[in-house]
């Protein structure tokens, strides 16, 4: 049975993407997780993986073509099509629409009314994008309007959004819809720093660990332990995610920002997370993000420590419900047992969705991160 490989949704605001390059040819055998195409979105060029095992039968789209989310890009042989990676997300994300389109695209074009033809997929997409079919010239059989025609019209009507537009839209939605509350907690980093220094003094440069990996590991463990901070808020309220995928806000040169995910971070050690974080940062900055990393974060960590700020008051990335900010690591007077000493400290902050959690559980969440940082060898 032939299955279709569809233009994936690589973020809640993505309506279309441009195929940049095929990494496979007809006849190639592919495995789930293989990168088979490069797709350009407003977030940059992203490596897109296939979500089924099979053989490539036919490439349906030429490089350079812009198509909507959910449009078929290629035909593969296989036994089942699995949903795109956003299956945990709320119904508001485009994934279910993509699945619906998949079911419809195999039907032949049929007339809507005499003298007016459009494929079901084209109709669905036009409806989703708010484009009137009546004004379009069809390029399909008998002048039927195809998905391509709708995509061309969409591209001509609206210029593709820049990454700044995407960030602006997501942050506006966040501040419009999410009742944020904020907490902060200054933590003693002495134990973590000592552990890092000792580990790094004996480690080859490739195995050294930065504080960021400890923060991600500690946040992931807190997100697993306490409900209400890890998941998505959708049309039907909050859905706790079973896996913990920690989005890491990474600044790109030129002032752009992305937050790809470290998958299953709660089940990985700090050294493993460090290796992944290093690889992820290098790939993101050289333009090789993977689709599954772009759309799957269940909670986010943002660090502005290197910019010298004491505390970050971050904005939640919808549809997530929490984000943890990490301030600068600084040496401050610190009192333990009535004795003042100089200690490395860091101020952690939490912005969380008050529809889902409240200040008391938020305080426990931050305390849980702080406690994890006191035993870094266990992270």
Partner 1 sequence: MNTTDLEPKVLKLFLEVAPDVDAAQLDRAAPFRDQFDFDSMDTLNFAIALNREFAIEIPETDYRHLASLKQAVNYVRNAISGAAAHNQSS
Report the alpha-carbon distance of residue 226 to residue 284 in Å, rounded. Answer: 30
Among 108, 132, 159, 201, binds partner 1 (CB under 8 A): 201
Report the alpha-carbon distance of residue 48 to residue 65 in Å, rounded. Answer: 15
Q: Judged by CB, which is closer to partner 1: 43, or 86? A: 43
Q: Do 104 and 81 meet the contact criterion of CB atoms below 8 Å apart? A: no
Residue 200 interacting with partner 1 (CB under 8 A): yes
Q: First and final CA of the chain: distance in angstroms? A: 46
Closest by CA to 318, choosing from 367, 351, 285, is 351
Residue 251 interacting with partner 1 (CB under 8 A): yes
Report the alpha-carbon distance of residue 302 to residue 306 in Å, rounded. Answer: 11
Q: Judged by CB, which is closer to partner 1: 67, or 280? A: 280
Among 253, 338, 340, 360, binds partner 1 (CB under 8 A): 253
Q: Judged by CB, which is closer to partner 1: 242, or 306? A: 306
Dihedral, CA of residue 103, residue 109, residue 113 and residue 116, to nearest 10:
130
Q: Do 319 and 253 meet the contact criterion of CB atoms below 8 Å apart? A: no
Residue 306 interacting with partner 1 (CB under 8 A): yes
Give the nearest distance from C-beta 328 to partner 1 in angstroms.
Answer: 12
Residue 287 interacting with partner 1 (CB under 8 A): yes
User: Binding pattern to partner 1, positions 202-231, x when CB under 8 A?
Assistant: --xxx-x-x-x-------------------
Q: Do 345 and 326 meet the contact criterion of CB atoms below 8 Å apart? A: no
Among 155, 252, 309, 343, binds partner 1 (CB under 8 A): 252
Number of alpha carbons in the 13 Å side-chain half-sphere of residue 239: 15
- Which letter does DSSP use for residue 140 in this model? S
Report the alpha-carbon distance of residue 80 to residue 115 in Å, rounded. Answer: 37
Q: Judged by CB, which is closer to partner 1: 155, or 210? A: 210
Report the alpha-carbon distance of residue 242 to residue 264 in Å, rounded. Answer: 10
Closest by CA to 348, choosing from 328, 364, 331, is 328
Residue 134 interacting with partner 1 (CB under 8 A): no
Q: Judged by CB, which is closer to partner 1: 14, or 277? A: 277
Q: Judged by CB, which is closer to partner 1: 278, or 355? A: 278
Q: Judged by CB, which is closer to partner 1: 20, or 225? A: 20
Give the nearest distance from C-beta 277 to partner 1 in angstroms.
Answer: 7
Residue 283 interacting with partner 1 (CB under 8 A): no
Using CB under 8 A as the binding criterion, the count of chain residues that bind partner 1 stands at: 21
Interacting residue ranges for partner 1, rule: CB under 8 A: 197, 200-201, 204-206, 208, 210, 212, 251-254, 277-278, 281-282, 285-287, 306
């Amino acid at each position: 049975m032939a299955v279709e490989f569809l233009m994936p949704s690589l973020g809640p605001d993505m309506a279309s993407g441009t195929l940049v390059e095929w990494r496979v040819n007809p006849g190639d055998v592919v495995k789930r997780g293989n990168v088979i195409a490069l797709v350009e979105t407003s977030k940059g060029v992203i490596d897109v993986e296939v979500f089924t095992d099979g053989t490539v039968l036919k490439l349906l789209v030429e490089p350079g073509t812009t198509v909507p989310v959910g449009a078929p890009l290629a035909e593969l042989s296989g036994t089942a099509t699995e949903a795109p990676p956003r299956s945990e997300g709320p119904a508001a994300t485009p994934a279910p629409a993509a699945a619906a389109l998949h079911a419809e695209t195999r039907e032949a074009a049929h007339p809507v009314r005499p003298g007016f033809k459009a494929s079901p997929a084209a109709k669905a997409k036009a409806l989703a994008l708010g484009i009137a079919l009546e004004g379009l010239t069809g390029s399909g059989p008998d002048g039927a309007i195809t998905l391509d025609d709708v995509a061309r019209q969409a591209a001509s009507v609206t210029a593709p959004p820049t990454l700044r537009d995407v960030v602006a839209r997501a942050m506006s939605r966040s501040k419009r819809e999410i009742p944020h509350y904020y907490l902060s907690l200054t933590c003693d980093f002495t134990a973590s720093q000592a552990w890092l220094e000792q580990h790094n003094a004996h480690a080859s440069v490739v195995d050294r660990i930065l504080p960021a990996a400890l923060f991600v590991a500690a946040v992931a463990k807190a997100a697993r332990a306490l409900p209400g901070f890890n998941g998505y808020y959708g049309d039907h309220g909050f859905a706790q995610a079973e896996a913990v995928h920690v989005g890491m806000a990474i600044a790109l040169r030129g002032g752009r920002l992305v937050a790809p995910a470290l998958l299953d971070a709660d089940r990985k050690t700090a050294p493993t997370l460090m290796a992944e974080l290093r690889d992820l940062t290098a790939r993101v900055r050289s333009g090789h993000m993977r689709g599954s990393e772009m759309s799957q974060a269940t909670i986010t960590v943002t660090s502005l420590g290197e910019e010298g700020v004491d505390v970050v008051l971050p904005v939640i990335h919808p549809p997530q419900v929490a984000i943890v900010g990490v301030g600068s690591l600084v040496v401050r007077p610190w009192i333990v047992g009535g004795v003042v000493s100089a200690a490395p400290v860091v101020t952690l902050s939490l912005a969380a969705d008050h529809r889902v959690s409240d200040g008391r559980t938020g305080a426990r969440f931050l305390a849980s991160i702080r406690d994890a940082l006191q035993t870094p060898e266990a992270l």
